[in-house]
A and B are shown apart, each in its own frame.
Chain A
């Protein structure tokens, strides 16, 4: 359970033979494309938060499923890498499973659900709960890379605004939130300023995860396939979430704790159980929750199933 290596031991780091026969390259993309993506990525790392255009390729999946993230992963991944893929924090959802098996077939690298074990983590809409180290690279899937888009629909204009650091309109958006809701109601894709310069969309992660980006030892790269942009936060970079002096940035908090592992410091998903209004809250990071269960932590719902704890808790987590 802990280490779900599916690639055959003898063929570690080798793509599926059937694919090789069809002329597919390691990690699907051809070497020229990888070079192009890597060049864009290096530029992105050199200018933290700046959106670098790149010639995004057609991928064997629809836009919106993470084509940008996949191209980044395919260009970065090496034979020794251990890959983890999560979708909304979970390793077992459709998107995560499909992308993981895609890379298993096309690269043969080891995969894992364990955050600490992974060297390369492709993620959709979450940052793992466990602290990341300098040995991690985090690849984000991004639908709309332009944080100013909501205020300014013209691409030519937003580029100028970035170039001249004209970021007043970002606060107009936050102002609107406070005027209508009494507090900053933006709860995901919360705009951040990187290294006191570029304003960047952190992709639709909950703002709960924004503080994790600040001064993070891991390299964070962002890929938007349809919008053809790559951007990055180098390790140990200042990431500031925008706010007002009298309405400082805050993250979500819950009155409940995780029903399975009892964690009171993780990001919780609400799951509706029946038509009687019963609901439960569970950690959105399935790996974090599982590790806590294994370490003996319990929550309200895990006790009921104390007879066969492991099987049932996994079933609930899958629900």
Chain B
């Protein structure tokens, strides 16, 4: 791994040390509890340009953090770096495994990263087709993770898949249909079920409601909020939609030009934005 000390790091923006914010929230981050995910000094350069710059935060079990900002602000780069899909230029991402063992995601061997990806983590893509196996049925899509960890009883896999279909409000009789015969909203719910079936502890979401119409969006958000609360999931959610952030996220990080310009509790950031860019973002919500 790169050593952070090797290269002079750009000075963090004034209010870009969001890790201090956690203490504000009494619900999370009690003294004895270790963060589930610690991001420290994360930077990703594409040549000379920085995709994201010196981002640090802690995520505690059951906590939902929203990353908002306009397109091109480095949200997705940040998410990809955190989730191990992209390797950062500087900085570390430390994850506490179920076994309480802490591991540096990018220094860890590939097989461990891939194992986490399909057991303790989930990744919900903006486009469900990226996250689903499109040539197999909905049931098989949900069952894949189970079979991946060694479940070899067809009946059990099927009953588990069917109970998950029910939880994400997809009719049982669609179980053996291919995902491409589903509507966009159903595909997105199927993708969520496919990720949650392995009882993950941490979910990454990249614009999960993008491309859905408003009423479907509302239902999906409702469902997500319920599932996340039920299962005590920690979530990193990237969105450009402040309404989505307000409904789901406990904490917000506002990004602009690859830098976190403001962070704090969601209500605090949205109701009393300090940074001028956040103020612009909040004021640009259409009032209907």
User: Does chain A have a CB within 8 A of B139?
Assistant: yes
0/1 per residue, B122-157, Cβ < 8 Å to A?
A: 000000000001011101100111011100111101
Q: How far is the CB of A235 from chain B (nearest CB, A)?
A: 28
Residues of B140-178 at the interface with A, using a CB-CB cut-off of 8 Å, are 140, 143-145, 147-149, 152-155, 157-158, 175-176
User: Does chain A have a CB within 8 A of B222?
Assistant: no
Q: How far is the CA of A59 from the CA of B175 in the complex (A)?
A: 47
A179 in contact with B114 (CB, 8 Å): no
Residues of B contacting A160 in the complex (Cβ-Cβ under 8 angstroms): 110, 114
Residues of B contacting A246 in the complex (Cβ-Cβ under 8 angstroms): 153-155
Residues of B contacting A208 in the complex (Cβ-Cβ under 8 angstroms): none
B154 in contact with A178 (CB, 8 Å): yes
B149 in contact with A168 (CB, 8 Å): yes
Which stretch (A10-18, A62-70, A131-139, A169-177) binds chain B? Answer: A169-177
User: Does chain A have a CB within 8 A of B111?
Assistant: yes
Chain B: interface residue total (CB-CB under 8 A): 25
B157 in contact with A151 (CB, 8 Å): no
Q: How far is the CB of B38 from chain A (nearest CB, A)?
A: 26
Interface of A is mostly: helix
- CB-nearest residue of chain A to B145: A168
User: Does chain B have a CB within 8 A of A180?
Assistant: yes
Q: How far is the CA of A245 from the CA of B152 in the complex (A)?
A: 6
Contact of A168 among B111, B137, B144 (CB under 8 A): B144
User: Does chain B have a CB within 8 A of A254?
Assistant: no
A164 in contact with B111 (CB, 8 Å): yes
Residues of A173-199 at the interface with B, using a CB-CB cut-off of 8 Å, are 173, 175-176, 178-180
A175 in contact with B140 (CB, 8 Å): yes
User: Does chain B have a CB within 8 A of A58?
Assistant: no
Residues of B contacting A243 in the complex (Cβ-Cβ under 8 angstroms): 152
0/1 per residue, A200-211, Cβ < 8 Å to B?
A: 000000000000
B114 in contact with A175 (CB, 8 Å): no
Q: How far is the CA of A174 from the CA of B149 in the complex (A)?
A: 16
Residues of B contacting A180 in the complex (Cβ-Cβ under 8 angstroms): 137, 176
B147 in contact with A172 (CB, 8 Å): yes
Residues of A contacting B152 in the complex (Cβ-Cβ under 8 angstroms): 171, 243-245
B137 in contact with A176 (CB, 8 Å): yes
Chain A: interface residue total (CB-CB under 8 A): 20
B147 in contact with A175 (CB, 8 Å): yes
Q: How far is the CA of A245 from the CA of B155 in the complex (A)?
A: 9
A168 in contact with B147 (CB, 8 Å): yes
Given contacts A175-B140, A176-B137, contact A244 B145 (CB under 8 A): no
A176 in contact with B111 (CB, 8 Å): no
Given contacts A244-B154, A247-B154, contact A168 B148 (CB under 8 A): yes
Q: How far is the CA of A245 from the CA of B147 in the complex (A)?
A: 12
Residues of A contacting B110 in the complex (Cβ-Cβ under 8 angstroms): 160, 164
User: Does chain B have a CB within 8 A of A269?
Assistant: no
Q: How far is the CA of A175 from the CA of B160 in the complex (A)?
A: 13
Residues of B30-73 at the interface with A, using a CB-CB cut-off of 8 Å, are none
Given contacts A166-B114, A166-B148, A246-B155, contact A172 B136 (CB under 8 A): yes
Q: Which 10 pairs between the two chains have the least Cβ-Cβ distance?
A: A168-B148, A171-B147, A244-B154, A168-B147, A164-B111, A245-B153, A175-B140, A172-B140, A179-B176, A246-B154
> What are 27 pairs between A and B in contact, CB < 8 Å?
A151-B133, A151-B136, A160-B110, A160-B114, A164-B114, A164-B115, A168-B118, A168-B147, A168-B149, A171-B147, A172-B133, A172-B136, A172-B140, A172-B144, A173-B136, A175-B139, A175-B143, A175-B147, A176-B136, A179-B139, A179-B140, A179-B158, A179-B175, A179-B176, A243-B152, A246-B153, A247-B154
